[in-house]
A and B are shown apart, each in its own frame.
Chain A
Amino acid sequence: MAVIEQLTQDFLRTKKLPHIWCPGCGNGIVTAALVRAIERSGYDQKDVVIVSGIGCSSRAAGYLNFNTLHTTHGRALAFATGLKMARPELKLFVIMGDGDCSAIGGNHFIHSARRNIDLNAVIVNNHIYGMTGGQHSPLTPTGKKATTAPRGTLERPFDLLELARGAGATFGAKGIAAQPRQLEQLILRGANHRGFSVVEALSPCPIAYGRRNKLGGAVEMLRDMKENSISVERAANMEETELVDKTITGVLFSIDAPEYAEEYYRSIGKEIG
């Protein structure tokens, strides 16, 4: 308890609370996991920067007591790329929602992955555009309803981590809001990884997604999330048929490859730091 209180004092802007998130939203769980991961990373507070886009989860930046940069819709990674190249010693965490990252920000996402620039992307995936009231995103599962897909979306969703891997990202992990300790661990491992790291965090949105799709309230959504997930270690020993519609959690890939900012500064004969 004492540790949590200390974290709250240091890393949260308590005067900015209460937050704007709806009851049952998973953004708070993911934000808390991020804060604990930053604490465990041992980074100096002044070296940590939180960058975010536009959307519900991106409002987290305003509540975190670091240098915080709340950018434009989809562009967080592009802002972060400029900042990282200017100040490679800084530790950047980039919070994005599913629509923010994979629709309007899709181009910046794949190119950040391609460069393998040392940014830690934390994508809060609630399968919906929450702030605008529930439109389908590129991560909404086929058939699920949204205000802009009242009969269920016909579109197929991205597999975000496969997309990241294909584009050149060197670290990819998936966690769920129902397992915050694992999520914290995954964000920490992403932070320790040198290169572009992607942590996708599944998060419930009972108001704009769950209600319309009859998925129950926050408790039911979290319970289903947990029941439908399997760790990557356990999944390794299971048949493919057993894994249909399951969420595989854990570190899905971790690859060693040259990191862009470091390569750039080496190429011009300058030390980072």
Chain B
Amino acid sequence: MPETKPVLMQGNEACAVGAISAGVRFYAGYPITPSTEVAEQMAARLPDIGGVFIQMEDEIASMAAVIGASIGGMRTLTATSGPGFSLKQENLGYAIMAEIPCVVVNVQRMGPSTGVPTAPAQGDVMQARWGTHGDHPIIVFSPASVYETYYLTIAAVNLSQKLRQPVILLLDEVIGHMREKVEIPEAGKLIVEKSSDKVPSDWKPYDEKGLTPLVPFGFGHYYHVTGLFHDQYGFPTGDPPQVERALDRLHNKLEKYRDEIVLTNYIGHKEPRVAIVTYGCVVRSARAVVKKAYWQNRLPVGLLSLQTIWPFPDREIEALAKQVDVILVPEMNRGQLVGEVERYARGEAKVIPVNRYDGEMISPDQISEALGRWLS
């Protein structure tokens, strides 16, 4: 185990520290509340370790620059919030299509539009899934604490590299701005999982046989990168069978590595009657409820927290629904992920939304009240 020391840290800062630990050496961004601290941390830290920080002219350019730098061989990250996340969608789709790794952080704030820039919300759950056009796959992590932000950032960077697939880190204003004690491995230690460095002589950028590592530009492999549907060498094609194969390829890689991607955590009673399913900062309120209901009062209650919300943890919900009578889904929106929970509960359990969308955090009391109603 690497040595650790406890520090007091904000979620946004933990994201920056995690990114650097995972080998990120390029950041391009644009200022926006409540994500700006990620940029400020990267601006302060990257130059000292030979990395590149650049503030771009807008969010669209930030996303483009990150992809450009990834093609140059750097590990990259950009951070934003609601309105900026909307602007990133165009080139996010490009990165998915061209299979260029990168990590996009969205510190959610209350929307739609400019909304309440300093208030937390979880309104971008469906945008994170479907924000860019086309029938694309996506990976989205949603941390519930500062430490989770740290390690999920590292996981996001590594997974993104391995699968050549953008990964979204969906924070919220609470997690981004909250300060907590975290144990961070000693500074300077790299937590980098290397994808294979060896490039076979018959390397193809989009090999039909499956995943290949990205060989950066400038090493004599004269391949083509495009947002058009392409063949295994990267050249445009409109041939229907090839188009279908190429889209399947994008989805198949996520399906193949599904168990590495989908992260969930269950706490509580072994045979629960009522379960809470939630993600992000709401996990904190839910945990307080389960602490009281199960650890103190031994009620048949449990909490399944989702670190990964996309691809959706379908099997986990299916299994849970068979165990319980009721699933509560508290969210800081008018009900987004609850639809997915309902879909995979497949009528085996009653699925009840618990919502708050006034720019304040869901309190343990609000969840307790709903829980009480269904336990009795």
Report which A residues bind B (CB closer than 8 A): 16, 45-47, 49, 51, 61-62, 65-72, 75, 78-87, 89-90, 107-108, 111, 264, 267-268, 270
Contacts and interface: CB of A to CB of B under 8 A. Distances in A.
B68 A69 contact: yes
Given A62-B236, A79-B68, A82-B64, A111 B57 contact: yes
B127 interface: no
B94 A107 contact: no
Interface string B38-76: 000000000110101010111011101111111111101
B225 A87 contact: no
Given A16-B235, A78-B65, A86-B68, A268 B50 contact: yes
A86 B224 contact: no
A69 B48 CA distance: 30
A63 to B, nearest CB: 10
B245 interface: no
7 contacts: A61-B224, A67-B221, A69-B68, A69-B71, A70-B225, A79-B71, A90-B218
A111 B225 CA distance: 24
Given A67-B221, A81-B54, 19 more contacts: A45-B220, A46-B218, A61-B226, A62-B236, A66-B222, A68-B224, A72-B90, A81-B65, A81-B68, A82-B72, A83-B72, A85-B26, A85-B65, A86-B68, A87-B72, A90-B218, A108-B57, A111-B57, A268-B47
Contacts of A78: 56-57, 60-62, 64-65, 68
A97 to B, nearest CB: 16
B223 A67 contact: yes
- Per DSSP, are chain A's interface residues mostly helix, strand or loop, or mixed? helix
B218 A82 contact: no
Nearest to B223: A67
Nearest to A70: B226
A72 B64 contact: yes
Nearest to B225: A69
8 smallest beta-carbon distances between A and B, as pairs: A82-B68, A82-B65, A86-B72, A78-B64, A83-B68, A78-B61, A86-B69, A67-B217
Contacts of B56: 78, 81, 111
Nearest to A110: B57
B216 interface: yes
A95 to B, nearest CB: 13
A79 B228 contact: no
A85 B217 CA distance: 13
Interface string B208-246: 000000001111111111111000000110000000000
Given A61-B224, A107-B61, A90 B72 contact: yes
B28 interface: yes
B60 to A, nearest CB: 6
Nearest to A73: B90
A81 B61 contact: yes
Nearest to A261: B52
Nearest to A15: B235
Given A62-B235, A79-B67, A82-B72, A69 B61 contact: no
Contact of A71 (B64, B216, B218): B64
Contacts of A80: 68
A75 B57 contact: no
Contacts of B58: 107
Contact of B26 (A75, A82, A89, A111): A82
Nearest to A20: B236
Interface in B160-215: none
Nearest to A16: B235
A83 B225 CA distance: 13
A207 to B, nearest CB: 21
Contact of A108 (B52, B61, B222): B61
A62 B226 contact: yes
Contacts of A264: 52, 54
B91 interface: yes
Contacts of A268: 47-48, 50
B3 to A, nearest CB: 28
Residue among A67, A78, A86, A264 having the largest count of chain B Cβ atoms under 10 Å? A86
